[in-house]
Structure 1
Amino acid sequence: MRLYRSRHMAARFIPFLFRVFVRTYVRPRVEGAEKLPTEGSFIIVANHSSHADTAVIYAALPRHVRERFVAAAAKDYFFQGGFWQFLSRVLFNAIPISRDRRGGQDPLRHAARALREGYALLLYPEGTRSKDGKVGPFLGGVGRLIADFPGTPVIPTYLFDTMKVMPKGAHFPRPHRVTVRFGDPIYIKAHPRFRATWRSAAEELRDAVLQVGGIAPAPVAPAEEKAAPPAPAEEKGEE
């Protein structure tokens, strides 16, 4: 369980101070935290409209989850060295997710390993922050993880008003009360070898997140897939 936990000395005290700051600054209401599994790996899937999202979710987690928590973060944004990479690693044990297929490596390899190691993994399947607060289409990569780790609980989660704290393009957070609502664990099925099931699982999961937020699901155009490797050649007819 030490694999992805930051070993930097700052990780001993900065996360505590950061949680105090978040709880004071945005006073998060937390609903459904008792639904989070007490052991074993699971996936938290949430809507994404602000850089404040991960901070708010982290501050809302009970201790038994924080101790095994990792947050998936865009490799091209948070893993280019410097302050943001340091902070995301120390605070959230962040792991990189590639938003394209360059380099020939599996962009979800760290997410998969985290689940194998028993971590609680935070994912934003939209792949980017919403510009208008509406939940966009979910990428099929989350469906592929579900297919590769059958029986893993998924916690649909909805964040309210984080966009008012730090909208896309803002550099400093604003004080505004937010809400984190965790839904009941769900178990979605997908087949490891068929991408069509990854996409249907992602759509089902998006509907679950909207339901937790009290929003009626509406059809959306499929997202452009950037976070999943190509299907095996013999499978391409299953699109």
Structure 2
Amino acid sequence: MEWQFRPARDTEMSPVARLRSHAREVGLSGLVMQGAWRRGVRAYLRLFHRLEVVGRENLPATPPYVLIANHSSHLDALSLAAMLRGPASRRAFALAAGDTFFTSVGSSAFAAWAVNALPVWRRRTSAKDLNGLRQRLAEDELVFILFPEGTRSRSGAMGRFLPGIGALVAGGAVPVVPCYLEGAHAAWPAGRRWPRPGPLRLRIGPPLDFSATSDDKAGWMEVARRCEDAVRALSPPAPP
């Protein structure tokens, strides 16, 4: 076997710039810290929220892939990341709002090294940024966790999906796995400082393939629509 070495993508960056960069790599210290964080989060979700996962068999055997879900709570990303196992758990990055989680060095450090988040700036993420994320997702065989609504629902009802998910996956071979998390809004709605105990149930659906979808605005809208339909199909039926 011929070994090939390449420098880390973030080698030339300062420590502060690295925190907010899409090129950030985890490194040995980050793996140790994030491993401890994952174990703590799993214990918390098991004890306080009795997290139940349905449909785990729908997850691809190996990365790369994208996990998408409804978004109504800070528990959403924690729950999706916590249910991953093996290499996928160590290669998972949550795409988080830069103007919420990366506003200071302290919050950036927590988001980067504990949650393993990459920033997405709501009003200034460029096509170049999205292309860089798309390239890295495939080349480094990562798992991206993202919420196509773009922000947390204040009511708990799922909103419309934005076309940014399409710009990330349209015309590519990376599958998208739809999920629906039930109970997160009741446990930790936007505006509440700390979560309260309450059951969580995560449903995972079959992967979606967008390799034949055009990588243009029409294709991005199609991706958003199909993703939204797949996530809504996993939601519990409305009470009579």
TM-score over 0.5 for the alignment? yes
How many angstroms apart in 2 are the aligned matches of 1:120 and 1:79? 20
Q: Any idea what SS the aligned residue of 2:123 has?
A: coil
Q: Which amino acid aligns with 1:196?
A: A
What's 2:41 paired with? 18
Q: Which amino acid aligns with 1:4?
A: E
How many angstroms apart in 2 are the aligned matches of 1:11 and 1:122? 16
The answer on whether the counterparts of 1:73 and 1:94 sit within 8 Å (CA) in structure 2 is yes
The 4+ residue runs of structure 1 with deviation greater than 4 A are none
Q: Report Cα offsets for 1:119-139 as digits up to 9, x if no partner.
A: 011110000001111111111
What's 1:4 paired with? 25
What's 1:163 paired with? 185
Q: Which amino acid aligns with 1:125?
A: P
What are the residue-to-residue correspondences of 1:24-43 with 2, within 5 Å? 24-43=47-66
Q: Report Cα offsets for 1:208-235 as digits up to 9, x if no partner.
A: 110122469xxxxxxxxxxxxxxxxxxx
Asked if 1:62 is matched to 2:85, the reply is yes
Identity %: 31
How many angstroms apart in 2 are the aligned matches of 1:181 and 1:215? 13
The answer on whether the counterparts of 2:131 and 2:168 sit within 8 Å (CA) in structure 1 is no
How many angstroms apart in 1 are the aligned matches of 2:36 and 2:63? 26
Asked if 1:184 is matched to 2:206, the reply is yes
How many angstroms apart in 2 are the aligned matches of 1:177 and 1:40? 29
How many angstroms apart in 1 are the aligned matches of 2:123 and 2:128? 10
Asked if 1:73 is matched to 2:111, the reply is no
TM-score by length of structure 2 reads 0.80
Compute the RMSD of aligned alpha carbons. 2.3
What's 1:146 paired with? 169
Q: Which amino acid aligns with 1:155?
A: V
- Larger deviation, residues 37-46 vs 60-69: 60-69
Count of residues paired in the alignment: 213
Displacement of 1:13 in angstroms is 2.2
How many angstroms apart in 2 are the aligned matches of 1:176 and 1:95? 28
What's 2:151 paired with? 128
The answer on whether the counterparts of 1:115 and 1:121 sit within 8 Å (CA) in structure 2 is no
Q: Any idea what SS the aligned residue of 2:94 has?
A: strand
TM-score by length of structure 1 reads 0.80
Q: Any idea what SS the aligned residue of 1:106 has?
A: helix
How many angstroms apart in 2 are the aligned matches of 1:53 and 1:68? 18
Q: Which amino acid aligns with 1:28?
A: L
The answer on whether the counterparts of 1:50 and 1:163 sit within 8 Å (CA) in structure 2 is yes
Displacement of 1:12 in angstroms is 4.6
The answer on whether the counterparts of 2:179 and 2:205 sit within 8 Å (CA) in structure 1 is yes
Q: Report Cα offsets for 1:66-94 as digits up to 9, x if no partner.
A: 12111100111111224432222223311
What's 1:205 paired with? 227
Closer/same/farther in 2, CA of residues 163 and 76 from structure 1, 3 Å limit: same
Closer/same/farther in 2, CA of residues 105 and 186 from structure 1, 3 Å limit: closer
Q: Any idea what SS the aligned residue of 1:111 has?
A: helix
Q: Any idea what SS the aligned residue of 2:170 has?
A: helix
Q: Any idea what SS the aligned residue of 1:131 has?
A: coil
The answer on whether the counterparts of 2:69 and 2:180 sit within 8 Å (CA) in structure 1 is yes
What's 1:234 paired with? none
- In structure 2, list runs of 5 or more residues that go unmatched: 1-7, 9-23
How many angstroms apart in 2 are the aligned matches of 1:66 and 1:27? 20
The answer on whether the counterparts of 2:34 and 2:116 sit within 8 Å (CA) in structure 1 is no
